[in-house]
């Protein structure tokens, strides 16, 4: 390490954020170089003193009026929000439009493909030939479906809960045979931070129907979930699927003491419902 490189590390040295290797190389250099050692020590002492000067002290507090003013402002803002007129249909439709340019482009492209597809389908020369196989139309439908799948899968990975909700709403439109979307929904149900998103994903699972794989995944999920609301929604899903073969799994849940009592009761109710 030379003098120039040492200077680049000084800020991290003072804030004690150097890695072990860097610190060793740094200290080896300053042990041998008087100029660098002197500068590191002089500026280092000043760095320590900075934390002691008036104004940096943690004893320095704002006045009590500041908190009062903040809560008054917040209260007034909330009141203003509650009394504001509800958004009209147009605003609500506009609010669905994605905010990020990448999604705007994806949505724009999807709309374009859909527009072309619809235009192609309703052109006059096709009238009366609906039953005839049309490979181009099928291809366009495939592209729209693929685009929807891509948007759904990508949105469900987003940080914002709002974006993920939108992703789930795209997933609802995916074909029931789309295993990638099904898998993404199950992941959302199991891992999403937001209870709202998880519940919405449970609703979206309805259309995929019961199969040994989905049933097992749902039962596993009930065991993993920490929120009774989601556990109950998953039990309702098994009931809605009218999957009688889920009864033994539900019985196991009903007798599992580690699960919330409301959930166990709901599992018992579900067993009765499936036996009807």
Partner 1 sequence: MNGTDNALMAQVSNGEVAKLAVLFERHHRPLFRYFVSMNRNRELSEDLVQDVFFRMLRYRASYDPAQSFTAWMYQIARNASLDQAQKRKAEVVGIDEREDRRMEPVSSAPGPEESAAKSQDLALLRRALDRLPADKRELLVLSRFQNIRYEQIAEILGCEVGTVKVRVFRAMRALEQAYLAVTEEGRPDMNRDAANGN
Q: Are 201 and 188 in contact (CB under 8 A)?
A: yes
Of the two residues 91 and 131, which places its CB atom closer to partner 1 in the complex?
91
**Between the CA of residue 262 and those of 144, 190, 240, 253, 267, what are the distances in Å?**
43, 20, 19, 11, 9
150 vs 46: CA distance, rounded Å: 55
Is-contact 180 153, C-beta < 8 A? Answer: yes
Q: What is the closest distance, in whole angstroms, from the C-beta atom of residue 197 to partner 1 in the complex? A: 12
159 vs 258, beta carbon nearer partner 1: 159
* In the complex, minimum distance from the CB of residue 47 to partner 1, in angstroms, rounded to a whole number: 6
Neighbours of 251 (CB within 10 A): 14
Residue placing its CB nearer to partner 1 in the complex, 65 or 124: 65
Q: How far is the CB of 150 from partner 1 (least distance, A)?
A: 20
Minimum gap (Å) between residue 43 Cβ and partner 1: 5
**C-beta of 52 vs 132, nearer to partner 1:** 52
Q: Which is nearer to partner 1, 81 or 132 (CB)?
A: 81
- Smallest separation, CB 62 to partner 1 (Å): 4
Which CB, 191 or 255, lies closer to partner 1?
Answer: 191
Angle between helix axes 261-275 and 247-254 (nearest 10 degrees) is: 150
Residues 6+ apart with CB under 8 A from 165: 196, 197, 200
Residue 68, both tokens: 């009062």
Burial, 89: exposed, middle or buried (Cβ in 10 Å; 0-12, 13-18, 19+)? Answer: exposed
Nearest-approach distance from CB 28 to partner 1, in angstroms: 19
* Distance in Å, CB of 46 to partner 1, minimum: 6
Rounded to whole angstroms, the Cα distance separating 175 from 205 reads 12
Query: What is the distance between the alpha carbons of residues 203 and 200, in angstroms, rounded to a whole number?
Result: 5
Nearer to partner 1, 159 or 276 (CB): 159
What is the binding site for partner 1 (CB under 8 A)?
Answer: 7-12, 14-15, 17, 42-43, 46-47, 49-63, 65-67, 69-71, 73-74, 77-78, 81, 159-162, 193
The SS3 of residue 198 is helix
Tell me how far the alpha carbon of residue 108 is from its chain's centroid.
23
């Amino acid at each position: 390490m030379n003098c120039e490189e040492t200077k680049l590390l000084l800020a991290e040295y003072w804030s004690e954020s150097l890695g072990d290797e860097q610190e060793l190389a740094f200290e080896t250099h300053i042990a041998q170089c008087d100029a660098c050692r002197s500068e590191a020590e002089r500026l280092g002492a000043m760095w320590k003193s900075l934390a002691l000067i008036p104004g940096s002290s943690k004893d320095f507090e704002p006045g009590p009026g500041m908190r009062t003013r903040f809560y008054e402002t917040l209260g007034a803002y909330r009141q203003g929000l509650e009394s504001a007129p509800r958004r009209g249909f147009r605003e609500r439709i506009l609010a669905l439009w994605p905010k990020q340019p990448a999604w705007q482009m994806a949505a724009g492209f999807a709309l374009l493909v859909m527009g072309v597809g619809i235009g192609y389908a309703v052109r006059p020369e096709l009238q009366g030939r609906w039953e005839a196989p049309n490979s181009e139309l099928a291809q366009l439908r495939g592209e729209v479906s693929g685009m929807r799948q891509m948007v759904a899968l990508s949105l469900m990975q987003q940080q914002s809960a709002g974006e993920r909700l939108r992703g789930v709403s795209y997933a609802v439109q995916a074909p029931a045979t789309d295993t990638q979307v099904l898998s993404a929904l199950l992941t959302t149900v199991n891992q999403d931070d937001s209870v709202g998103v998880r519940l919405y994903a449970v609703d979206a699972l309805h259309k995929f129907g019961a199969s040994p794989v989905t049933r097992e995944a749902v039962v596993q999920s009930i065991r993993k979930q920490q929120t009774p609301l989601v556990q109950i929604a998953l039990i309702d899903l098994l009931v809605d699927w009218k999957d009688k073969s889920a009864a033994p799994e539900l019985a196991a849940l009903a007798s599992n003491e580690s699960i919330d009592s409301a959930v166990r009761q709901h599992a018992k109710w579900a067993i009765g419902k499936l036996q009807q």
